[in-house]
Amino acid sequence: MKRLVIVSGLVFGLTCCYMRAQEQPAMHAPDGGTRERLESLTILPATNASFVATVTTEWTSILVDGSKQTNWNHRTVARDSSGRVFQERRFFSPRGDKEATMISELDFADPNRHEMYVCRSQERVCYVRQYNDTPSVNLMPAGQIPNGKGSIERDDLGRKTIDGVDVIGSREITTINAGVVGNEKSEPIVKEFWYSSRLGINVITKRFDPRAGIQNFVVSNISQSEPDPKMFEPPQDYRVVKMSGQ
């Protein structure tokens, strides 16, 4: 009988605790979190300017205590002689410069068919939309930015050869005046570019922005031979979804 009382008391106590836990209100609604994506390299369609290369991205965030946190990834990009463009998108990792990280997305741009396939690996779905192959590139002239927002300064860094590719260097310093974006004091944004006119890409890009940290992008292992045509074919086992207007 004594043993029965102890067991019954234990069960009653657990039941009470479980009921009280179930009655506790939720402390907050689901948190959506924060997602960030870097656009490290713009590859425009161009005929007879084929290449295959590796893009390595180094992203250093400046934390509130002044310390730094750095992550990397490296990914494959390519363009064929007809102007089709392929780009991998990969997640970041503290060892992403040495180890291949998981693919998040595969992008296939075809200027001949005016189609862009954005293939999401986690969904195994390719979203197809119209591809506008003539984006405008408008550089704001050096000097004062209108409405007192700040100023732009540009410097010529000369020429050199990187990975067998001739490039021209420039530095751009954009100073944002205090209060323009909620900043308490003026903030400089510094960018350095090493541009290949032959390939139409920035082989090296360095960015410093107090809001986003330090971002360095390097294009390496550049081969100017014609890529394998299979690189420009979306995965056959992915579901295809055409966006509106397609």
Mean pLDDT taken over the chain: 87
Decide which of 39 and 230 is more confident.
230
Q: At 34, list the tokens.
A: 């924060």
Q: In this predicted structure, what is the pLDDT of residue 52?
A: 98
- Tokens, residue 148: 């007192």
- What's residue 91's pLDDT? 95
Residue 162 lies in a domain: yes
* 205 domain residue, yes or no: yes
- Among 16-25, 62-71, 231-240, the range of highest mean pLDDT: 231-240
Contacts of 191 (CB under 8 A, 6+ apart): 171, 172, 173, 174, 205, 206, 207, 208
Judged by DSSP in three states, 231 sits in helix
Token readout for 151 is: 């100023």
Rg of the chain over Cα atoms, rounded to whole angstroms, equals 26
The reply to whether 126 falls in a domain is: yes
Question: Does residue 86 sit within a domain?
Answer: yes
Q: How far is CA 173 from the centre of its chain?
A: 22
152 found inside a domain = yes
CATH code for the domain of 213? 2.50.20
Among 113, 56, 134, 119, smallest CA distance to 86 is for 119
Domain extent at residue 164: 51-134+141-242
Q: How far apart are CA 53 and CA 76, in angstroms?
A: 6
Q: How confident is the model at residue 135, as a pLDDT? A: 57
Give which of 174, 194, 222 is closest to 76, Cα–Cα.
222
Q: Quote the pLDDT of residue 132.
A: 81
Q: In this predicted structure, what is the pLDDT of residue 12?
A: 38
Predicted confidence (pLDDT) per residue in 110-159, tens digit? 999 999 999 999 999 999 999 986 655 677 888 998 888 999 999 999 99
pLDDT tens digits for range 14-66: 444 445 545 666 677 777 655 566 677 899 999 999 999 999 999 999 888 88
Whether residue 245 is predicted with pLDDT greater than 70 in this model: the reply is no
Buried b / exposed e along 82-111 (16+ C-beta atoms within 10 A): bbbbbbbbbebeeebbeeebebbbbbbbbb
Number of domains in the chain: 1
Predicted confidence at residue 27, as pLDDT, reads 79
* Predicted confidence (pLDDT) at residue 93 exceeds the cutoff of 70: yes
Q: Which pLDDT score, from 0 to 100, does residue 25 have?
A: 64
d(CA 203, CA 168): 10
| pLDDT: which is higher, 106 or 132 | 106
pLDDT in tens, 165-214: 999 999 999 999 998 888 889 999 999 999 999 999 999 999 999 888 99
Tell me the mean pLDDT in the region 65-71. 92
Tokens of 202: 């920035």
Tell me the C-alpha distance between 189 and 209, whole Å: 5
